[in-house]
Structure 1
Amino acid sequence: MFACVRKIRCVATAIAQLTRPSVIHVAVRTKCEGKKKYMDMDCKVALITGGTSGIGFGAANELLCQGAKAVVITGLEECQGRQAAKDLNAMHGHGRCLFMRLDVEAKKMFEEVIKETMARYGSLDILFNNAGVMNDKEWEKCVEVNLNGMIRGCSLALEYMPTNESKTGVVINCAGTFGFEAMPYVPIYTATQHGVIGLTKSWGSPCHFEKTGIRIMALCPGITETDMITKERGKAQLTPEWTNKAFEMLDSMPKQTTLATGKALAYIIKYGDPGTLWPCEANVLFQAQPPERATFQTKVMDV
C-alpha cells in the first residue's frame, strides 16, 4: 500500500515540476544493464545541503520517491526550510523530511547537523554537497561556500560514515559543468567548480575507497531552472559589464528542470563508481571521462 501511495505522489510531483513535455523521457539516458549496483535507496538516510529549493529540493523529492527512509534538508533561511520540509512530508508521509539550519562555512555547525542526523535516524548513508553561490563580487564567500564547504562535507563524511552499521556511504559533490571549461565572466565561481572536480577525483580515488568504503563522486548540472539563477541575477559580478555578459551566456544555454537532476543523482547513488564525474545537461545524464594529461599536451621544446 505504501509503495502505491508513494508512486502516486511521485508521479503527481513529477507532473507538477514539468515545464515542457520533453523532460519526462530524457532525464537519464545512461544504461543500467551490467552496471554494478552499489546501493539501494530503500531505508537510506540522506543529508542535502542547500536542500530547501532548486536542485537540492528536487533531489530530496526524488530520493523520497525512490524509497529513502528520511532526508534532512539544510539551508540558511528557516522559514523557507520549514516550508520545504512541510511540503515534502505532505507528499511522502509525515516525518520523512526534516529541516536543519546549516551554514556550510561553519565546520562545527556542519558536524552537529551530521551527528544529530545520525542520532535521530541511526545512520547517514548519503551526503549531497549541494550548497553554492555565484557571486564573484563577494569572492571570499564564493570560495568559502562553493569549495571550502565541499571540503568540510567530505572530511566530515569520511569521519562519520564509516561508523554506519553497513560501513559504507556515498558523497556527491555538486560541481556544475563549468568545472570542465572556462566561464570568462565569472572566473572565481568557475575556479571553485574546477576545485570541486579536483577534490572529487582525488578523494574519490580507488586507494581511498578501498580503505573507507565511502564513494565520492560529482554531479555536474548544466543550467537548471532554479531560484539560484534568478536570485543571483541581481548580484554584481566583478564588473557591471561582466554581470550582464555572464547572464547573457547563461540565458543562451539549454535549460533543464530539477526533475532531471534529481533522477540523475539517484542513478549515480546506485551505480556510480568512486571518483567519477557526471554532467547532467539539457535533461541528459552523461559520464565524463577526462583524458590523461599526456594525451592532450604538445611538446614545445627541451628546457
Structure 2
Amino acid sequence: MAVELTFLFCLVILSVRANSISDKDLKGKNVIVTGAARGIGYAIADNFLANGVNQIIILDRNVTNGVRAAETLKCKYGRDKVIFILCDVTKDRHLWGDIVDEHGPIHVLVNNAGILEEDQPREMILTNSVAPIEWSLKFREYARNDKGGPGGTIVNIASISGYTIFPFMVSYVSSKHASLAFSKSLGHPYNFKKTGIRIVALCPGLTYTAMTAKQMAWDDQLEDFKKVTKDDVWQEPDAVGKAAVHIFKNAESGTAWKITGGQLSVAPEYLYMTDEEIENALN
C-alpha cells in the first residue's frame, strides 16, 4: 500500500509539473489580444503566432486597421489562424460570451488596448485602467480552476509610467499605475494558487507607435518633457512583442517586467524622479 501511495503521489507531482510547463507554452493556445490592429498589440499577435499559438483573436475598435492586420497575419501564418472582431473594450464587454461560444476555449488574454490623450482623462482611465480590469475579471471567472475552468494566463500591457512618478503625462501615469497595481494584486500567488490564473504585467518604455507619435505632454510642459526624455532610448514594437513571448514562457504570476530600449528585465517596484533630476536635465 505504501508503495502504491508513493507511486500515486509521484504521478500527481509529475502531472502538476506537466501542467505548469504547458501553461507556459504558447503552442496550441487560443489567444485574445486587445488593440492589436497595429503597434504593440500587432507585434504581440505576430510573435505569438510565430511561437505556435493555435489562433489569435484581434479585438480593436478600428475596423480598417483591424481587417488589414488580420489579413496580413493570415497571409503570413494561415487563414484559420487569425480572427478580427470589431470591439471597443470600454463598451463591448458583453461580447465575451459570444467570443467564448464561437472561438473557445480561450487560454490567454492580452490586455493591450490603450490611449494617451491627456486632454481626455476620463476616456483614458476607462481604456487604460477600467477596461483591462473588467476583461481580466471576465476571463478569470471563465477560466479559474476552482470553478471547473481550464486555468490560463493574462498579460496586461502597462508602461514604465506604471511604476514611475514624474510631473508629465499625469493622467496617463495614473491610468497605468492602476493597471500595474491591479495586475500585481490579482496575480498575487495567493490568488494564483486558488484559481490557476496567472497574471503578469509588461511595462514598455518609449516605443515607436501611432500613440507616441502624437504630442505626449501638455503644451506648457512640452519643451521640458522633450529635454527630460531626450536621452531615453526608443524601441520598435517588435521588441515588445518578443518580450511578451519571453515573459509568457518564464514569468511567475504577480510579477512585472519592463522592456526599455529593447532590453528586458524585472520592473522596479517604484521610481520617483526628483525635482533636482529634472532641473539637471533641463540645464
Give the structure 2 partner of residue 150 of structure 1: 132
Give the structure 2 partner of residue 218 of structure 1: 201
Between Structure 1 and Structure 2, whose CA radius of gyration is higher?
2
In structure 1, the residue corresponding to 2:71 is in which secondary structure? helix
Supply the distance in 2 between the matched residues of 1:222 and 1:47 (Cα, whole angstroms): 23
What is the correspondence of 1:242-281 to structure 2 with a 5 Å cutoff? 242-247=221-226, 249-250=228-229, 252-281=231-260
Give the structure 2 partner of residue 62 of structure 1: 47
Matching of residue 209 in structure 1 with residue 209 in structure 2: no
The verdict on how the C-alpha distance between 1:66 and 1:147 changes in structure 2, with shifts beyond 3 A counting, is same
Q: Is the 8 A contact 1:142 1:189 kept in 2?
A: yes
- Equivalent pairs, count: 249
Give the structure 2 partner of residue 190 of structure 1: 173
Q: Is the 8 A contact 1:55 1:261 kept in 2?
A: yes
User: Cα deviations across residues 11-46 of structure 1 (Å, max 9, x unaligned)?
Assistant: xxxxxxxxxxxxxxxxxxxxxxxxx74421111011
Supply the distance in 1 between the matched residues of 2:83 and 2:116 (Cα, whole angstroms): 26
In structure 2, the residue corresponding to 1:60 is in which secondary structure? helix
| Cα offset, 1:180, TM superposition | 1.4
Supply the distance in 2 between the matched residues of 1:100 and 1:144 (Cα, whole angstroms): 20
Q: Is the 8 A contact 1:135 1:142 kept in 2?
A: yes
Give the structure 1 partner of residue 24 of structure 2: 39
- Calculate the aligned-residue CA RMSD, in Å: 2.0
**2:201 alignment partner AA:** A
Give the structure 1 partner of residue 62 of structure 2: 77
Question: Whose RCO is larger (CA < 8 A, sep 6+)?
Answer: 1
Matching of residue 126 in structure 1 with residue 108 in structure 2: yes
Q: Is the 8 A contact 1:223 1:254 kept in 2?
A: yes
Supply the distance in 2 between the matched residues of 1:58 and 1:249 (Cα, whole angstroms): 28
Q: Percent identity?
A: 27
Structure 2: gaps spanning 5 or more residues:
1-19, 271-283
Out of 53, 67, 90, the position equivalent to 2:75 is 90
Supply the distance in 2 between the matched residues of 1:242 and 1:128 (Cα, whole angstroms): 33
In structure 2, the residue corresponding to 1:226 is in which secondary structure? coil
In structure 1, the residue corresponding to 2:155 is in which secondary structure? strand
**1:83 alignment partner AA:** R
| Cα offset, 1:101, TM superposition | 1.2
More displaced 10-residue stretch of structure 1: 179-188 or 139-148? 179-188
In structure 2, the residue corresponding to 1:219 is in which secondary structure? strand
**1:130 alignment partner AA:** N
Using structure 1 for the length normalisation, give the TM-score. 0.77
